Amino acid sequence: MNHNVLHPIIHNHSCILFFILATLTSIVQDKNLESLGRLGGVKRVASALGTNVEQGIKDDNIANDIACRREVFGSNTYPKPASRSFFHFLVEALKDPTILILLACAALSLGFGIKENGIEEGWYDGGSIFIAVFIVIAVSCISNFRQNRQFDKLSQASNDIEFVVVRSGRRRNVSIFDIVVGDVVCLKIGDQVPADGLFVEGHSLQVDESSMTGESENVEVNSNHHPFLFSGTKVVDGYAKMLVTSVGMNTTWGQMMSSISHDTDEQTPLQMRLNRLTSSIGMVGLAVAFLVLIVLLIRYFVGKTTDENGNKMFNGSKTKFDDIVNAVVGMVAAAVTIVVVAIPEGLPLAVTLTLAYSMKKMMADQAMVRKLSACETMGSATIICTDKTGTLTLNQMKVTKFWLGQKSIEEGHYTSIAPYVLGLIREGVALNTTGSVYKSELDSVFDFSGSPTEKAILSWAVLDLNMEMEQLTQNCVMLQVEAFNSKKKMSGVMIRRKVDNTIHAHWKGAAEMVLKMCSRYYDESGILKDLDNTNRLILEQIIQGMAASSLRCIAFAHTSVDANEEHRDDEQNKKVKEEDLTLLGLVGIKDPCRPGVKKAVEACQQAGVNIKMITGDNVFTAKAIATECGILQPNQDTVGAVVEGEEFRNYTPEERLDKVDKICVMARSSPFDKLLMVQCLKQKGHVVAVTGDGTNDAPALKEADIGLSMGIQGTEVAKQSSDIVILDDNFASVATVLRWGRCVYNNIQKFIQFQLTVNVAALAINFVAAVSAGEVPLTAVQLLWVNLIMDTLGALALATEKPTIDLMKNPPIGRTEPLITNIMWRNLLAQALYQITILLTLQFNGEAIFNVTSKVKDTLIFNTFVLCQVFNEFNARKLEKMNVFKGIHHNKLFLSIIGITIVLQVVMVEFLKKFADTERLNWGQWGACIIIASISWPISWIVKLVPVPQKPLLSFLKIKG
């Protein structure tokens, strides 16, 4: 194809551009280097797309240009799978076997009732069950539907990644969804490639294409042999600029991504444990219900069951068939309802509500949950391994010290530096960087981009050393680049000066690492001196002094390269010369501690969570920052508490396990050391949370029980490997996540205690009453109403309790702690026993005590039972604390739900006689019900004085809990 068909004016040539798009898409996807050559290469393609490879998209009205490109070439988005509709959740709810049995019973009851008593009164029993079941289904569907929407929003937020693009000559951060065809995107280690495109310029770019090809080998991308980049692949080494040629559904990745959706059915470990608990309790409920049904059937057919007037309900052949069927249907409905109440299906719902509420609140607290299980696991964390830079510190770096040789050069006195040495420093900064400098033409203000360290050095060089970056880059040709990596902790470049064709190598990185490669240094007068043992020791002390002042120490080094030597290196993959270097200078970069970090560290330590700092900085800087943050105490013995990565790595496995608990700080560590530490801690039974921001942190983030990646400095690979993204990179947010994790676990325990109390009481009352009296005091509709209070309103009230300071005073839960603790058993058994005693007393003696009819007695039992749950809901707020009302005024939702429950109960008793099978109660009877129910408060207070054994209750019964 002739490249003349390509036309740069997007606005007027959309037909040609569609043809160009199809051609470019085909060339890139087929990796057709020959066809790309015929188009005139990358620069010609960029020109055709109205883009300059250096300046990016350049237009006076850039917003209009971007909108036009999006309209012509498409947006960088994928069609989302349709969200599950409300109808889907309705169908799911109707699949519940107990609901289906209840509906069948309701239908039979309705049919026989209408046949027996006519349409006006015959629908009451069956219709009541229908309405009650409908309310239960509706509430369940609405909560699940809303939860699904919440997950959809979360999925959208987790996919919204920011990239650096060049537009109008300036680097800008834009969302992946806003990238358009023609954009020049800057890629660095750890980035996900956002679209299909072509390599423009860069160095040592290695891309992991395993997500596309399945091949584990990294692919080298360059302008000569393989300039093709694909959406969804990951940058594992080097840096580059790419020209975007196709976006969204026009990319290879597009078709695959459109079929991927967030797994809204993800179950957390706690949910799975609760499902097992639900199944176990359900089996008990099923057994009790079956026994009740058998007892009721036997009593009915032997003539022991009587109606309201005391007449036998079954009189052999005299009894109508319809009456027998009606009676049997009623018994089956009662038995099924016992199962419905016994099965605590509210437990999974409580977890769902708790997680949904917590996730929303955590988002406001700068933490985005990517994996649900992390919420609850974080509550069990015993150790947090944290980064230093940006997490404990502000990541707002500034050069505050400069040493030339053995002399400190004060700010404002840089003109005293020998011009030749100053020129070499400027050259080393300008060419050995992944950052950039942009100068606004309007206000002459400099804009620096890159990592915080790069920005600090560039800012210092431009503003203090008067470095002209553009001029320096134009005067040199880049021959080879060695990108910064976490192993070497430095980066190097080899350049050729255009003015005299001489070749030079520049290195920049961790001061003690660079110093090892140097054999000479420049003094303050620019005189070259040998770096003997004495001078080396002095420089090492200078580096240590800066580190002890919490400064990150970076060194610059330079050497000339002989042309013949450069040619030899070309044959050996052209390595940047890294021996016999000359030290140019040392800079100290200050990165102040974040405000509030010390308080957050103390809060974690008080909560029994050990904080370990793992950093790439040297021992002295690490110690200084750790002391400033409270990880190390000022007078603490650091032997064994502070180690270097290499030292830790060289321990035997037994030594590592023996010493790992004592370590507080690991300096000069590699990502492998971090992974090793996480593995050791897990081996010792700890629940480990790890923070990380780099690509190389991914293994440690995956290995940890909870991986926390950084939202600002974190690479895309790190975020994908993590469970939670800390949006503000702040350790205080990590402490907040810990508090929320504990809150989630605690709220679920509260609800379990609350619900199991009702389960035990309801089962015992109905079983004893059925066996002894041949009747169930709580009808199907009444039990469904109690079920609604427990499962939905109760879950909502207790699941939305906010974290308290008290949560951070308790030790971590750990891995082996049972879900239902001895404290919970004590509380729930005491309340259940009280409720059973009172309600059975009412069942057998209620008519005499209150001098009422059987119907009123049953209403008193129902009303007292519901009010007992209302009062017990307050008790459930605090598992151990005596004062169950503490902080209640802050939880308006809890108070609202209690109020709604009471109002609805009054309506049930006083106004829904036919529906709820109740009788109206007078003021005295209401007062008696309230007094009986309120006694649960002093009982709760007294019971909490009773000590419980440490050994889990279920272990005495040899049951796995």
CA–CA dist 747, 297 (Å, integer):
41
Q: Are strands 665-667 and 642-644 parallel, antiparallel or unpaired?
A: parallel
8 Å CB contact between 335 and 292:
yes
Backbone φ, ψ for residue 625 (5° rounding): -70, -40
8 Å CB contact between 113 and 215:
no
Residue 194 to residues 160, 163, 230, Cα–Cα distance (Å): 11, 8, 8
What lies within 8 Å, CB to CB, of 75 at 6+ separation is 177, 180, 247, 248
CA-based nearest residue to 602, from 742, 808, 807: 808
Fill in the DSSP letter of residue 802.
P
CA–CA dist 183, 889 (Å, integer):
54
CA–CA dist 130, 330 (Å, integer):
14
CA–CA dist 467, 461 (Å, integer):
6
Backbone φ, ψ for residue 610 (5° rounding): -85, 135
Tokens of 644: 């270097």
Count CB neighbours of 284 within 10 A.
Answer: 14
What lies within 8 Å, CB to CB, of 427 at 6+ separation is 472, 476, 495, 504, 506, 558
State the residue for tokens 């620069």: 43
CA–CA dist 306, 300 (Å, integer):
8
8 Å CB contact between 193 and 211:
no
Residue 53 to residues 29, 41, 291, 549, 653, Cα–Cα distance (Å): 21, 12, 80, 43, 52
SS (H, E, C) 20-61: HHHHHHHHHHCCCHHHHHHCCHHHHHHHHCCEECCCEECCCC
- Identify residue 839 by its one-letter amino acid code: L
DSSP codes of every residue in 192-209:
BP-SEEEEEEEEEEEEE-
Q: Counting Cβ atoms within 10 Å, is residue 639 exposed (0-12), middle (13-18) or buried (19+)? A: exposed
Q: Bridge-partner residues for 463, per DSSP?
A: none
State the residue for tokens 């009808």: 779
CA-based nearest residue to 243, from 183, 305, 307: 183
Q: Counting Cβ atoms within 10 Å, is residue 323 exposed (0-12), middle (13-18) or buried (19+)? A: middle
Q: Are strands 581-590 and 518-522 parallel, antiparallel or unpaired?
A: parallel
What's the start-to-end Cα distance of the chain, in Å? Answer: 72
DSSP codes of every residue in 312-350:
BS--GGGS-HHHHHHHHHHHHHHHHHHHHHHS-THHHHH
Tokens of 694: 């780099």
Count CB neighbours of 491 within 10 A.
Answer: 21
Tokens of 559: 């050497």
Task: Map residue 245 onto helix, strand or coil.
Answer: strand
What lies within 8 Å, CB to CB, of 117 at 6+ separation is none
8 Å CB contact between 780 and 334:
yes
Residues carrying an active site annotation? 387
What lies within 8 Å, CB to CB, of 465 at 6+ separation is 414, 422, 425, 426, 429
Task: Map residue 927 onto helix, strand or coil.
Answer: helix
CA-based nearest residue to 181, from 413, 22, 379: 22
